[in-house]
Structures are given as C-alpha cells and as structure tokens.
Amino acid sequence: MSKTTTLAPETGSPARPTRRFHHLRWVMIGMIFLITVVNYIDRMTLGVLAPTIMDAFDMSNVEYSRVVTMFLIAYTISQTLSGKILDRIGTRVGMMCFVGLWTVSSMLHAAARSATQLGIFRFLLGLGEAGNWPGAAKSVAEWFPVRERAFAMAIFNSGASIGAVLAPPLIVWVALTWGWRYAFFIGASCSAFVMLLWFLFYRTPDQHPRLSPEERSHILSDHVATAGTAPFRRPWISLFRHRQVWALVTARFLTDPIWWFLISWLPAYLKNERGFSLALIGVLAWIPFLFADLGNLIGGGTSSLLIRHGWSVDRARKSVMFPSAALLPAGVAIVVLSHGNALALAGVSLIAFAYQSWIVNVITLPSDCFPKQDVGSVAGIGGTAAGIASILFTLLIGWIVDHFNYTPVYLIVGAMAPTGALAFLSIMRRIEPVAD
C-alpha cells in the first residue's frame, strides 16, 4: 500500500494523502463474492423449505414446479435486460438497483398466503437476482486481465456454492425455531447490508481513487490483446453474428438446468425419495454444495494457472471443461444405482463438483472473447438461454416426479453435460477474441 500527496485545489497546500492499494481488484471481487453469497441464500430459501411450504399450501410437484418457473421466467427476461442495463448505466449503479429489487422481493415472500402469491413474489425476485451474473462478469472484465479472469470468476461464482452451503442449516434452524415465514428475512437483511458496502466502496478502475498505478497497468496489460480492440459498444443484435455467442448460448442452454435442478429440487428429493426429515435436510443438504464450491475453485483456478504457465486460453479452458463434463454422468450413475443414502449423497456431490468445474469456465467466455463494453450483454444473452432451458426442464421435472420418480430426471441430467460439451466444441471450435 502506498500514499500519493496532492495539492488542495484552493490553497495550494498539501491535501490529505490518498492511500493506494496494490491488490484492490481482489477487494472488488470479494464484494461481488459477498453479494453472490447473499443472492443464493435468498434464492435457496424456497428450495430448502419446499417440503414444508408444499404441505402448507397443499401443492403437488407440478404446482411447485410452476412457482419455481415464475422465478425462472423473470430471471430469463431480466438476464438479457440486465446485461444491457449494466452496459448502459454502469456496474456500480446497476448492481445497486438489482440488489435493491431482490431485497424487497425476498421480504414479500413472508406475506404469501397462497401458491399464486408466492409465484408473484418469486417473479419479482427473479427480476432482481438475474442482474448478479452479468454484473459480476462485467466487473471481472473491468478489473482483471484475462490470465486471472477464470480464477476471479471462480471466486465470485463460489459465492453461489457458499450461499447454498450456508442456506440449509441456517434456514432450517430459523424455520424450526420461529416458523418458515421468518426464514425469508435472513437473505433480505443481508442483501441490504451488502448493497450499502457496494455503494460505499465499488468504483471502476478508471474512477477508483485508491487504485495504484502499478495495479492499473497490470489490469490493462492484456485487455486489448485478448479481448478485441473495438472502442465502441456493438449493437446488441449484431452480437449474434459471432460464433462465440452461439457457442455460449448452446453450452448454457444444455447444461444450466442441472444446477437449477439441484438448488430447487434436492430437498424435495431427499425427503420424498430418501425419507429425510426437515431437520436432517438442514444437517446434510449443504454437503453437495460444498463440493460444488470445490469444483468451482478447482476448475477456475486450474485454467487460470495453465494460462499463467503459457497455455493458450483455448487449450487451458478446454482442458478443464471437457473432463468435467465427462465426470458428471459418473455421479448420476452413483445416485441411480445406490440404495444407501450416504452413497446417493456422494453421487449428488460429484454431480455438483463436475458441473461447477465446467460452468465456471463457460461463464468466463464473454470476457475471453469480447471487449469489456460488450461483456454484460453477451453474459446476459447466455443467461437468457440458460433460463429458457431451465424453465422447460423445471416444468418437465414436476410432471415426471408426479407420474414416476426422480430416476428419469437424473438420467436426463447425466446426458446434459456431455451433449453440451460436444455441441460447444462443434460451434466454438477455437476460443479466441471476436474479430472487430
């Protein structure tokens, strides 16, 4: 940390020194991590309490899938809109708007008196929470050179897994102590706190008074060389001319439903198929998400390490993505074939690990391939594709479980990752910046 002394504008005397930090980019990603943790505590509350709320409102699996779908519809709409909004008004103000919206929406859940009202509040929550990912991707593109981006993305994306780890025991404890409605205030209060932190401390590198010249130079060192040189924001529709966008859309469409299945249906699966009580769900349901966090950090960290050792972005990303996609069906096989609860939970944990190792590299692609002024829009397009697929799969899950059981669902999950990986490879061919 260093100090820079400036002259006061009116007196010409030395002004108070400004402390400059040499690793400020890691503080920025730390704030995004906290926001993502809270995002997932908010988001997971319904999933963790699904068995209890379904009983309270007398909902079938199909009816529950419709409530989840209301969130996904709003999330999908907002993914595209939020990316464009963030590119237009900036990361700092844009993220505050989205966090504020989901804070209010989370509190409204406690007032729901029917499945219909719950669905409306989930819709509002989805509108707000969608902004987290395009905003985070845009912030990473602003604050990190390409060789560090996958690891930075892994740090913020691990917030999803950490939030999912914290959510089951915390939410179940509040629900068993004071009732399920009070559990929705946990995420809302945390959201208000992180929104204040963001307002006080976040700035882009070109505006931050505490960024050292050395770190500024480090951040800008390979932006031009690796992310295109266009000084302008491309028209949104023109982004679809690039194969990189279609590869991202395809990869997320075919694989994102895996994660939505885990966060929305795992507690219901553990209760209905494995006989877990709500208390036992609180004790054990966090374990797969801990492994998801490990997959996220290992997947993102490994590709970043390979790039720092001289590997190309294309080779480094693919060397992690494709083994991860191949590992996921093994987890499905363990779940489907096992009779013991411990082994089944281990299989779900392997699915979560492999998925996060895959997806952390996928969501880094917008900043790998596009200049920073387009990253939010490209990330939003990918999120929209993910949302559409997750809506369709969520509705299908409700119907399958009501008519059969969870085995066909897991078999579909096992086929998604390899299919998505092969489709991605055929479209993307080589991971490289777009031509201007």
* Single-letter residue type at 35: I
Break the chain into its structural domains and give their ranges: 23-202+241-428
Asked if 343 contacts 334 with a C-beta cutoff of 8 angstroms, the reply is yes
Tens of each residue's pLDDT in the chain, 436 residues: 445 444 344 444 444 445 566 678 888 889 999 999 999 899 899 999 999 999 999 999 999 999 999 999 998 888 778 878 888 888 888 899 999 999 999 999 999 999 999 999 999 999 999 888 888 888 888 888 877 887 887 788 788 878 988 999 999 999 999 999 999 998 888 988 988 888 888 888 887 777 778 878 877 765 544 444 445 667 778 889 999 999 999 999 999 999 999 999 999 999 999 999 999 999 999 999 999 989 988 998 899 899 989 999 999 999 999 999 999 999 999 999 998 999 999 999 999 999 999 998 998 888 888 887 788 788 888 888 998 999 999 999 999 999 999 999 999 999 999 999 999 999 999 999 887 6
Task: Give residue 281's pLDDT.
Answer: 93
Which tokens is 143 given? 């604050």
Task: Give residue 20's pLDDT.
Answer: 60
Task: Give residue 133's pLDDT.
Answer: 82
Asked if 194 contacts 31 with a C-beta cutoff of 8 angstroms, the reply is yes
In the CATH scheme, what is the code of domain 23-202+241-428? Answer: 1.20.1250.20
How many angstroms separate the CA atoms of 292 and 145, rounded? 25
Going by the DSSP 8-state scheme, the letter that residue 436 receives in this structure is -
Closest CA to 263 of 284, 280, 288, 283: 288
How many angstroms separate the CA atoms of 388 and 395, rounded? 11
Asked if 133 contacts 83 with a C-beta cutoff of 8 angstroms, the reply is no
Residue by residue, DSSP assigns 147-192 as HHHHHHHHHHHHHHHHHHHHHHHHHHHHHHHH-GGGGHHHHHHHHH
Task: Give residue 4's pLDDT.
Answer: 46
Task: Give residue 407's pLDDT.
Answer: 96
How many angstroms separate the CA atoms of 264 and 126, rounded? 14
How many angstroms separate the CA atoms of 363 and 259, rounded? 14
Biggest CA–CA distance in the chain, Å, is 79
Distances (CA, A) of 8 to 12, 21, 190, 208, 345: 5, 22, 39, 19, 62
Angle, helices 132-143 vs 24-48, to 10°: value is 170
Specify the 3-state DSSP secondary structure of 19.
Answer: strand
Task: Cite the DSSP H helix spans in 273-406.
Answer: 278-284, 287-308, 313-337, 341-362, 365-369, 372-403
Q: Report residue 182 CA to chain centroid gap.
A: 25
Cβ atoms < 10 Å from Cβ of 326? 14
